[in-house]
Every structure is written in C-alpha cells, then in structure tokens.
Amino acid sequence: MPEKKKKVVAKKVTSKTVATKPAQKTVKSVKAEDKSKKIKKIPQTVRGMKDILPQDGQLWRHLHAVADNISNSYNFEFVETPILEEAALFVKTIGKNTDIISKEMYAFEDRDGSKLALRPEGTASIVRSYLNNGMISLSQPVNMWYYGPMFRHERPQAGRYRQFHQYGCEIIGNADAVADAQLIVMGYNFFRDLGINANVYINSIGTPEDRERYIVELVGYFRSKRSYLSEESKLRISKNPLRILDSKDPQDQEVVAEAPQIIDWLSEKSKTYFMKVLEYLDELDIPYVLKPTLVRGLDYYTDTVFEFFDVDSPEKSQSALGGGGRYNLLIEELGGEATPATGFAIGLDRVALILKKKIETKEFTPNAGKLKLYFAHLGDPAKKRALFLIEELRRGGIAVYHNFGKPSLKAQLEQANKHDVSHAIILGQKEMQDDTIIIRDMSSGIQEMVDQKKIVREIEKLQRNSQ
Ligand code: HAM
C-alpha cells in the first residue's frame, strides 16, 4: 500500500492531469455536457450512399473520360435526364413484380400529392425523353449515352449501394442484330480500355409469346420441385418464375440446372435473330458464353440479353459489372409508335472497385503517361510571377499542384512528395533575378535550369519523353 501512495504523489502534475481530474457533477454541468455532445454529433451519409473522395477523384474522372471516349468514337450523343421522374414511368417499364419496383425503388409523394421516384435506372427515362421530345422525327437510329447516379434500396455491401453510378448507351430505331453486337463490343471495349478482362454472358429470351409458352413449362417444372426450392423462390413460382433462374441460392441452383431452357421455346424468327447476333460477335472476335439461365431483372427485354463479368474475380463474389439487351416493345408500351431499341448500362462503382485494387497492386495508374507536377515558389515577388506562369501552363493544357498558403519552400516540396509528383517546378529568388526557373526530377533529384519564357515548351518536351 505505501508503495502505491508514493506513486500517486510522484505523478507529474500537468495541465492535462488537472483538466481530467473528476469534478463533482451538478445538474447544470450534466445539462451542459449533454448539449455539447449534441453539438458534436457530425452528420453522416445515408446508409448505402457514399462520397467519392479526393483520393478517388482521378479514378472517377478517368472512368468518365473512357466512357466519353468510347461513346464518341461510336457516334453516340450525350444526354442527361432528371433524377426525379414520375414513379409510374418505372412501374410501367421495369415491371411491378420485379425486385427493383416491389422492393427497391425510392418512391414518395411530392408536396402536391404526385407520386415521384428517384430513378433506379436510365433506360425508362431515355425512352420517355425520346417520346416527349419527338426524337422519332430525327434521323434514325438515335444513339444516346449517359452517366449519373441511380437509386435502389438494396442491402448495402461491397459493390452494391443505394446510390450508384451507371454509364449507359441506348440505340433507338434500329432493329438489326448488328446493333446488339455493336453495343456488346462497346461495353467490351470500355472494359478493355480500362485494363479489365470482361466476360460476356449472352442469351435470348425471345418474344413475350415465346416467354408465355416457356413460363407454362417452367412453372410446371418448378411446382414439381417445389419442396427443394428456397422460401423466396417458392413465392416467385407464381409471381416471377423467370427470376428463380438466376437465384444465387445453392439450393435453387441445383433445381435450376435441370430446368427447361428458354432457347428451346424460341420462335424461328427469334432463333434466327439470336444466331445473327452471335455471328456478328464471332466476326468481331468477341468472346462470349451462352448462358441459358440469363433472363435479367427488368421486364422490358425481348430477344437478346447480355451481361458483363470480370474474368479475374472469383466466381463466388461475382456480380455483373453491366448488362443490357433489346427492348423492342417498350416505346409502344409507353404510347409511342412501335420502335425497336437496344442498350446497356455499366455499374461504375463496381468498375471503380476493381480499378482501386489494380492501383494498389500498381497494375493501373489513372492518368498514366501524364506528368504530375508541383509548382513551388519562394518569396512574395516569386508568388506573383508563379501566378502568371501557372496560368501560362494552364493555357498550354498543363496542370500543376501548388499551394500559395505555404510560404516555406521546404514545406512546399514536402507537399510535392506527398502528391507523388514526378517533377517540381521551382521559382526562387535567384531565378526571379535572372528570369530562369528550375525543373527538378523528384526521383533522381537532378535539376535543370530553363528560361522562364520557355517553361511550357520544356514541360511539353518532358511529357513527350516520358511517354
Ligand atoms: P441493370 O442490370 O439493372 O440494368 O443495371 C446495370 C448495372 O448497374 C449492373 O450490372 C450493376 O453493375 C450496376 N448496379 C445495379 N444495381 C447496383 C447497385 N445497387 N449498386 C451498384 N451497382 C449496381 C439496367 O439498369 C438497364 N437499364 C440496362 C439497360 C440499358 N438495358 C438496356 N439499356
């Protein structure tokens, strides 16, 4: 005991120990504590929704740039539709018995009582826009592309969010199988340009009549195997039997493996059409896998349906990176003239996850081939000149990191290192006097002194040499 006492006495008394000395709690102090706790509660994102953070900014801009580039090179026009639409638009097109509508759509009543929804996907809105804006009078087909946030109230997990982003392409007004094949090539090339090896799974679900005949057969089969199915699939037998086909439940999968296949119920016309799509893919040397159970989770499809998967992801955790298909009846169903259409959408958040892993393993660098530069200055006159030179560089299409809030050159160069730049451009007092500027290679430490007036040309030269 005496030893313990000694320890307490020996303890150094600091402002911290004084501050943490427990004080008698009065009612007043408890109330004040509660209040300060309340103030400190920082708002959080809504579950299943996330920020895109500065460290991922380059990656997302790269995704957009590749989408932009692919779409332009196939002559698609960029469009943007509102995030809010009438809820009925999605119910009518996606189908009221689908998971998206029955479980996942963010629908609510507006102040005037109208029923609105946050868009769960892009196709319905594009078709609405095509009809509203008389695009039928444009030269057909109309090729459109888009990207933006979509909303589904799903159970959040890696790669599955309540707000996610899609890049999508739609061809409206072309009934030829070549349009389906071209979209598949576009999607495939989007992944290839990002260094992702994509698998294409493909199937045909024929016409609604083909499907009706097939569903009779399928329901009969599932009823005969009812006791082997999961509870969810049992409910789906009468509601949406096609969805049982892509159930992830291992119990269901055994039953599905023996199920009748839709391909055997296709009309001659749909079969011939599907063969043509496959022939074009063969011609274009696009590898694909025929997947008889692929039916997709939206009701508007006819004939071709397809999905993209990452070849290198383990089979178990695989969820589609994108999907699409033909929707020849949708425009008529929404009140327009019968107009054939086809399209796809890719889930950019899932693509970003793959690329983030590739960045970690150095298999991928966003903006590879573009120099990362930092402009450092020393002193007030140099700061003014730096402003001017940074503007010159910007006009030459060259971006530089800089920080006018850090006067110390050492601090600026430390920041340059943090940004992992390849070169620092340094403007000190001596350089100000003789109109020169230093370009320092950050990995070798080798410095070169160049004429300030030639800075843009010098950086362009470096850029060319680094490619
Ligand atoms: P979808 O298959 O519902 O098709 O969605 C396309 C892609 O969006 C999916 O393959 C997936 O990568 C991504 N995605 C879907 N839900 C989520 C989620 N909760 N979190 C993260 N990513 C998700 C469509 O949306 C159709 N509009 C495609 C289409 C266009 N068909 C014809 N034209």
Q: What is the pLDDT of residues 404-430, one digit of tens each?
A: 998 899 999 999 999 999 999 999 999
Cα 146 to ligand 1 centroid, rounded to whole Å: 13
Q: Is the pLDDT of residue 434 over 50?
A: yes
Q: Is the pLDDT of residue 367 over 90?
A: no
| Ligand 1 atom 21: residue of nearest CA | 160
Q: How high is the pLDDT of residue 296?
A: 92
The DSSP string of 417-442 is: HHTT-SEEEEE-HHHHHHTEEEEEET
If one residue of 129, 150, 203 were mutated to test the ligand 1 pocket, choosing by the most ligand atoms within 8 A of its CB, it would be 150
Cα 377 to ligand 1 centroid, rounded to whole Å: 48
Q: Is the pLDDT of residue 317 over 70?
A: no
Q: Is the pLDDT of residue 316 over 80?
A: no
Backbone torsions φ then ψ of 298, nearest 5 degrees: -125, 145
Q: Is the pLDDT of residue 432 over 70?
A: yes
Q: Kindly give the number of the ligand 1 atom that is closest to the alpha carbon of 324.
A: 31
Q: Name the band, by pLDDT with cuts 50, 70 and 90, for residue 170.
A: very high
Q: Name the band, by pLDDT with cuts 50, 70 and 90, for residue 38.
A: low
Stated length of the chain: 467
Q: How high is the pLDDT of residue 370?
A: 79
Q: Kindly give the number of the ligand 1 atom that is closest to the alpha carbon of 343.
A: 33
Among 387, 389, 388, CA closest to 403: 387
State the residue for tokens 């260094």.
195
| Ligand 1 atom 31: residue of nearest CA | 324
Least confident window among 90-104, 149-163, 222-236, 366-380: 366-380
Give me the mean pLDDT over the 234-255 stretch: 90
Q: Is the pLDDT of residue 35 over 90?
A: no
CB 217 within 8 A of CB 313: no
Cα 294 to ligand 1 centroid, rounded to whole Å: 14
Q: Is the pLDDT of residue 185 over 70?
A: yes
In 240-314, where does DSSP find H-type helix? 250-257, 268-283
Q: Name the band, by pLDDT with cuts 50, 70 and 90, for residue 28.
A: low
What is the CB neighbour count within 10 angstroms for residue 169? Answer: 26
What is the percentage of the chain residues whose pLDDT exceeds 90?
82
Q: How high is the pLDDT of residue 20?
A: 41
Least confident window among 31-35, 59-63, 119-123, 245-249: 31-35
Q: How high is the pLDDT of residue 16?
A: 42
Q: Is the pLDDT of residue 366 over 90?
A: no
Q: Is the pLDDT of residue 302 over 80?
A: yes
Which stretch of DSSP H or E encloses residue 219?
helix 208-224
Q: Is the pLDDT of residue 11 over 80?
A: no
Cα 29 to ligand 1 centroid, rounded to whole Å: 53
Cα 170 to ligand 1 centroid, rounded to whole Å: 13
Give me the mean pLDDT over the 101-128 stretch: 98
Q: What is the pLDDT of residues 387-405, one digit of tens each?
A: 999 999 999 999 999 999 9
Reduced to 3 states (helix: H, G, I; strand: E, B; else coil), residue 11 is coil
What is the CB neighbour count within 10 angstroms for residue 7? Answer: 9
Please list every protein residue whose CB sits less than 6 Å from any atom of ligand 1. Answer: 121-123, 152, 154, 159-161, 164, 166, 168, 170, 297-298, 320-325, 327, 343-345, 347, 349-350
| Ligand 1 atom 10: residue of nearest CA | 322
Q: How high is the pLDDT of residue 18?
A: 37
pTM of structure: 0.85
Q: Is the pLDDT of residue 32 over 80?
A: no
Q: Is the pLDDT of residue 271 over 70?
A: yes
Least confident window among 115-124, 233-242, 273-282, 386-395: 233-242
Which stretch of DSSP H or E encloses residue 461?
helix 455-466
What is the percentage of the chain residues whose pLDDT exceeds 70?
91
